[in-house]
Structure 1
């Protein structure tokens, strides 16, 4: 049982009446800031992984040089 266009319209009007326009826009702003924070955290994790990979590669190269000597 899927809601049709009229059902969605009624739900949207009810939400607008219950919460008000200002409250809904405030919630959307909070959701947007949460998404931005999540993306920034994911980028920070990628940078840390890159740094760890670089350090591991340097250690492997040092060990190979030691073996050759």
Structure 2
């Protein structure tokens, strides 16, 4: 009780094939596989970048302030 046997899964698979058809399931599978491949390629490209990830819009001016505060100059993107 609570777990499905192989027969339950075969019946569910048969119903899915009858409802959607094999051609539509094939297209969905290839679209999903292409999306996963594109995501993996994007992750590899992002990780192999030689430049460090720095936000160029924010600069920090470290001065010898007696209160130990840091002034930040934020530039707006134009």
Query: Is the radius of gyration larger for structure 1 or structure 2?
Result: 2
After TM superposition, which residue ranges in structure 1, 4 or more long, deviate above 6 angstroms? none
Structure 2: state its 5+ residue gaps.
53-78
User: How high is the TM-score relative to the length of structure 2?
Assistant: 0.62
In terms of fraction of residues, the more strand-rich structure is 2
Q: Which runs of 5+ in 1 are unaligned?
A: 54-69
Greater RCO (CA < 8 Å, at least 6 residues apart): 2
Map of 1:1-69 to 2, 5 A cutoff?
1-48=2-49, 51-53=50-52
Q: Give the number of the structure whose residues are more often helix, by fraction.
A: 1
